[in-house]
Amino acid sequence: MAVTIRRDERPGLAGLFVDMADNCERLGAPTYADLAAWVAEWVEAGDGRFSFLTPYADSRIGDMVPLRFFAAIHRLVLQRDAPGLAVFYASVGGTPPTSHRARAACRDAFVEVVAEHAEEIAAGLQGFPQTNEVGRTAALADVLARVDAQWGLPVRLAEIGCSAGLALRVDALVVEGVVPVRGDAVVPLIVERIGCDIHPVDPTTQEGRLLLTSFVWPDHVERFERLRAALDIASRVPAEVVAQDAVSFVQGLRLVDGQALVLWHSAMWMYLPPGDRSAIETAIERLGSTATERSPLVHVALEPTSELPGEQHVFHLRVTAWPELDDVPAGMTVTLARTPPAGMPVDWSVPCVGAIVHDGAGRLLVIRRGREPALGLWSLPGGRVHAGEAFRDAVVREVAEETGLHVVPERMVGSVERTAPDGSTYDIRDFIARLVDDGVLVAGDDAVDARWVGDAELRALPTSPGLLEALEEWGVLPTAP
Ligand SMILES: C[S@@+](CC[C@H](N)C(=O)[O-])C[C@H]1O[C@@H](n2cnc3c(N)ncnc32)[C@H](O)[C@@H]1O
């Protein structure tokens, strides 16, 4: 999982707050966006009321100084120590300022709190930022339902970088309506909940609850509601959370006969040094190689795949299973959805298939698309998977509809993502399929033409973007010249 690191940039104190303002603006937190922009101006002007921030002037973006600063002030609001500011914080029932006058009043109340509580805020800056985002479990819940549908085994849930371990209670979160699941998905009961974090938070203590709550942005009322409900569940549903580094935790995991092990993590991968990431991946693959139908392993991650501005707010749900899950071969990763950082709503990909069919002469079956995307270009036969249809059945149906030929899917060789005309994402899984009779090649349905092509002819055709590269990577280009 490659991540472009921006966390090491040191844009200066004002720059850190401009970055925070920008993030808050993008993520629908206008009160913080406004205040962070003001703080940037104040520190830029050398305002003495913010001098306790000076030691942090050379901080990295990844140190999250503005987030800690705002959390320290939010803590005062939550403790009822800042009533003048509380009237603008939705987290405690206040009204976020929208008019020019209210925004000015909020700004004044904010600096007043800073001046009055400088020491407490300075102390708060030294703490480690801690969030535990309950909404992210909506994506996890759906994968658990798939695991249950495939194996029907009791589930052990393990999480690295679990913070307070709220996601370890995902089954209760679903049952109690805190996070939604798609359609009639059934989340299995979790029989063992184990997690690690280098700075674990105890969600059953007043201090732990206050810490987690203070890091939520006050405008995000729904996040508060989910967090409060999850904290309540955590007091009733125990989970074992240890203060341990993710690498040694994963290396210590074992499979148990008769149980499915699901290893989950969210919003933590970016904090790991590259060496730790590969050590974890190696340990997961090693464990996966010993998995069986009686003791499967499923790795589920909800992480941004890039930290470039804007892109760090797109989280990708990636799933890798051992043995095969939903026709995806063991060890192959598929991306099922995207979410905002808070995890909801989940933007599920549209499941699609493509068929890689060769004839006896080593030529490849291609069709010319009669519809967007890639209208008029040559591609593999394939299309959307119908509701309730298995991927392999969709391959058989799509090839028959678009070419008149009958095939038997053998194995999935890879997947690609494409943007659909309506802006959603197609998750296209490509299967090698064997031709079972000669049939008559006739283009139909979404295809306006269909042909068998050798390598040279394929390269000469206008093909859909990325097709040749994918076929090459998977080693399935036509062998005929
Ligand atoms: C942004 S929080 C996300 C928490 C939780 N996974 C969630 O999505 O709400 C990142 C967490 O990763 C933890 N963390 C960072 N590096 C770690 C490591 N090497 N091993 C274990 N936990 C780590 C931090 O302490 C923090 O609790």
322 and 389, same domain (yes or no): no
Res. 7: pLDDT tops 90 = no
Q: Residue 354: which residues within 8 A CB-CB, separation 6 or more? A: 379, 380, 381, 382, 428, 429, 430, 431
Q: Residue 464 in contact with residue 378, Cβ under 8 Å?
A: yes
Summarize pLDDT for 437-448 with one digit per residue, the tens.
767 888 788 878
- The predicted structure's pLDDT at residue 310: 63
CATH code of the domain covering residue 359: 3.90.79.10
Quick one: what percent of the chain has pLDDT higher than 70?
Answer: 97
How many angstroms separate the alpha carbon of residue 267 from the centre of ligand 1? 7
User: Do 224 and 361 belong together in one domain?
Assistant: no
Residue count of the chain, please give it. Answer: 481
| CA gap 77, 92 in Å, rounded | 8
Q: What per-residue confidence (pLDDT) applies to 33?
A: 97
In this structure, is residue 7 part of a structural domain? no
Q: Answer whether 102 contacts ligand 1 (Cβ < 6 A).
A: no
CA of 229 to the centre of ligand 1 (A): 21
DSSP string computed for 247-310: HHHHHT----TT-EEEEEEES-GGGS-HHHHHHHHHHHHHHHTT-BTTB-EEEEEEEES--STT
**Number of domains the chain is built from:** 3
Cβ of 216 below 6 Å from ligand 1: no
Assess whether 106 and 153 both reside in one domain. no
Which of 198, 245, 249, 278 is the pocket-test mutation for ligand 1 (most atoms within 8 Å of CB)?
Answer: 198
Q: What is the CATH number of the domain that holds 161?
A: 3.40.50
pLDDT exceeds 80 at position 307: no
What is the tens place of the pLDDT at every residue in 186-212? 899 899 999 999 999 999 999 999 999
**pLDDT for the residue 4:** 43
Is 60 exceeded by the pLDDT of residue 269?
yes
pLDDT confidence of residue 421: 84
Residue with more model confidence, 444 or 4: 444
Q: How many CB atoms lie within 10 A of CB 324?
A: 16
Q: Are residues 141 and 273 in the same domain?
A: yes
- Quote the pTM value: 0.90
Q: Which of 107, 122, 128, 129 is nearest to 56 (CA)?
A: 122
Task: Return the ligand 1 atom nearest residue 246 CA.
Answer: 20
Say if 2 falls within a structural domain. Answer: no
> Is 4 inside any structural domain?
no
Look at 26 and 364; give whichever has higher pLDDT: 364
Query: What pLDDT, on a 0 to 100 scale, did the predictor assign at position 305?
Result: 80
CA of 161 to the centre of ligand 1 (A): 3
Cβ of 160 less than 6 Å from ligand 1 = yes
289 and 302 fall within a common domain: yes
**Is the CB of 344 within 6 Å of ligand 1?**
no
The percent of residues above 90 in pLDDT, for the chain, comes to: 83
Q: Rounded to the nearest whole angstrom, what is the distance from the C-alpha of residue 200 to the centroid of ligand 1?
A: 8
How far apart, in whole angstroms, are the C-alpha atoms of residue 148 and residue 142?
10
Query: Which structural domain range is residue 218 located in?
Result: 134-348
CA of 61 to the centre of ligand 1 (A): 16
Kindly give the distance from the C-alpha atom of residue 137 to the centroid of ligand 1, in angstroms, as a whole number.
15
Ligand 1 atom nearest 343 alpha carbon? 8
Please tell me whether residues 159 and 300 are part of one structural domain: yes
Q: Which of 256-260, 354-358, 375-379, 436-440 has the lowest mean pLDDT?
A: 436-440
- Residue pair 108/150 in contact (Cβ under 8 Å)? The answer is no
pLDDT value of position 480: 87
Query: Which of 348, 373, 390 delimits the end of a domain?
Result: 348
Tokens for 35? 């205040």
**Range with top average pLDDT, 57-66, 118-127, 237-246:** 237-246
Same domain, 360 and 454: yes
Q: Is the CB of 168 under 6 A from ligand 1?
A: no
Q: Which of 339, 318, 338, 321 is nearest to 330 (CA)?
A: 321
The DSSP H or E segment spanning 440 is none
Residue 318 sits in the same domain as residue 182: yes
Shared-domain flag, residues 105 and 201? no
pLDDT tens digits for 393-423?
Answer: 999 999 999 999 999 999 999 999 888 888 8
Average pLDDT over all residues of the chain = 93
Same domain? 334 vs 373: no
Ligand 1 atom, smallest distance to 201 CA: 27
Instruction: Answer whether residue 479 is part of any domain.
Output: no
Question: Are 183 and 312 found together in one domain?
Answer: yes
Res 308: pLDDT: 64
Domain boundary (94, 124, 154) is at 124
